[in-house]
């Protein structure tokens, strides 16, 4: 009954998203499903839309993406965060292109780089109509209310997944997965859920008990630790020094200003200069907050690492979020 009611609602109210095939309009493209699911990992729909449209315009197929240059893909990904996803994206695309397509089972998908339990279930259900259960934050909230689960997150995740599995239909599992996500995103919202218009109101134990707004309960979050570091804006005439960060680790593979201290690397300045502090920037990562001292100086000799890039060629959009903040501060100082 829950699946039938929810799918009827979804047929009328499905969100229109650039990676989604509307109900009754055929099968989804595994490439577009995979790309969107990777981009959506720990990122909002609003933030992903433009990136998805740009990626699919540049690389319409997985073969096109597989043939792309690493640096170009990393530059297009800049600002979306969690840069290991972009590295895994390329690795996965090249494996899929070489094998002639995506596997159509959850186990086969999970064997690919960057595809875990959730993403493999989502692709298998949405692209290949496999009866897999897809559980993201929206689905956890819907299920916790449907069954009035008192256990707090994240400890409740296994229980919520087990309960969600009891709801997944064998027919239209992909639409059902997307319907659960849409319900959580538009009606069964974290605050002030619109219970009066919910298609599952008759089945919701939390609504019946008057506690829908109180669920899911969450354990107190630990305080986010703080880190500090230093970043150097090294000038040489009308050029600035940039370097490619190590392939693994924070901001891996991205183009950045030389820095040290915040990422476990204890490095000296990138070259001889009369360094002066021009301010600091703050940035929040998932597991820590960061304060960076920004140093500006004119190189008096050859840089010890990185490469000089003419000011007119520095593309703010190609920098990761942290380095965009550094660039904004430095650009104002350079222009003064």
- Give the pair of three-digit tokens for residue 124: 């298998």
C-alpha to C-alpha distance for 214 and 55, rounded to whole angstroms? 39
The 3 state secondary structure assigned to the chain is CHHHHHHHHHHHHCCCCCCCCCCCCCCCCHHHHHHHHHHHCCCCHHHHHHHHHHHHHHCCCHHHHHCCCHHHHHHHHCCCCCCHHHHHHHHHHHHHHHHCCCCCCHHHHHCCCCCCHHHHHHHHHHHHCCCCCCCCHHHHHHHHHHCCCCCCECCCHHHHHHHHHCCCCCCCHHHHHHHHHHHHHHCCCCCCCCHHHCCCHHHCHHHHHCCHHHCCCECCCCCCCEEEEEEEEEEECCEEEEEECCCCCCCCCCEECCEECCCCCCCCCCCCECCEEEEEEEEECCCCEEEEEEEEEEECCCCCCCEEEEHHHCCHHHCCHHHHHHHHHHHHHHHC
| Annotated catalytic residue within 37, 76, 132, 140 | 37
Instruction: Establish whether 37 is a catalytic residue.
Output: yes
Kindly list the catalytic residues: 37
């Amino acid at each position: 009954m829950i699946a039938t009611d929810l799918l009827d609602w979804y047929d009328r109210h499905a969100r229109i998203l650039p990676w989604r095939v509307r109900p009754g309009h055929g099968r989804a493209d595994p490439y577009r499903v995979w790309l969107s699911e990777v981009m959506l990992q720990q990122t909002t729909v609003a933030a992903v839309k433009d990136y998805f449209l740009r990626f699919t315009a540049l690389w319409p197929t997985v073969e096109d993406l597989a043939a792309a240059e690493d640096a170009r893909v990393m530059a297009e990904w800049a600002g979306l965060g969690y840069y290991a996803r972009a590295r895994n994206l390329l690795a996965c695309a090249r494996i899929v292109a070489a094998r002639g397509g995506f596997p159509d089972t959850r186990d086969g998908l999970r064997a690919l780089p960057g595809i875990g339990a959730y993403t493999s279930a989502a692709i298998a259900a949405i692209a290949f109509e496999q009866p897999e259960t897809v559980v993201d934050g929206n689905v956890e909230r819907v299920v916790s209310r449907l069954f009035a689960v008192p256990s707090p997150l994240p400890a409740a995740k296994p229980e919520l997944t087990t309960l969600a599995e009891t709801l997944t239909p064998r027919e239209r599992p992909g639409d059902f997965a997307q319907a659960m996500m849409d319900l959580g995103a538009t009606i069964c919202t974290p605050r002030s859920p619109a219970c009066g218009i919910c298609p599952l109101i008759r089945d919701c134990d939390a609504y019946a008990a008057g506690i829908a707004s109180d669920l899911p309960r969450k354990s107190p979050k630990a305080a986010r630790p703080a880190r500090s570091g230093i970043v150097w804006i090294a000038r040489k005439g009308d050029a600035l020094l940039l370097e490619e960060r190590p392939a693994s680790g924070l901001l891996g593979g991205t183009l950045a200003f030389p820095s040290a201290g915040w990422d476990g690397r204890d490095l000296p300045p990138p070259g001889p200069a009369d360094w002066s502090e021009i301010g600091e920037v703050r940035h929040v990562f998932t597991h820590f907050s960061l304060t960076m001292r920004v140093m500006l100086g004119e190189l008096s000799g050859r840089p010890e690492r990185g490469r000089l890039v003419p000011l007119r060629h520095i593309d703010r959009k190609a920098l990761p979020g942290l380095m965009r903040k550094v660039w904004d501060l430095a650009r104002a100082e350079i222009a003064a």
